[in-house]
Amino acid sequence: MKADLHPKNYRLVVFKDMSNDYSFLTKSCIESKETIKYEDGNEYPLIKLEISHTSHPFYTGKMKLVDTAGRIDKFRSRYNKK
């Protein structure tokens, strides 16, 4: 394997599903400007998710339309100028 291929800055990060307020703690090297106090009382970087395994239709068996801030409308207005 190549040397120095993987990032060195792995740390604990909280990922939060904004559609149902589910949070989980895992290691990641993703950058974040926000922090949150987790269940264990420590403060960790926060990454907000629109969908996770607790809200995805494949895992829940329920269909749910997730359209945050009218993304479809923004797309249509941007590319419908022709």
What pTM was computed for the model?
Answer: 0.65
Q: How far apart are CA 32 and CA 48, in angstroms?
A: 9
CA dist 14 and 51 (Å) reads: 14
DSSP code of residue 56: -
- At CA 24, angle to CA 21 and CA 29, rounded to 5? 120
pLDDT (tens digit per residue) in 21-66: 889 999 999 999 999 999 999 999 999 988 777 776 655 666 655 5
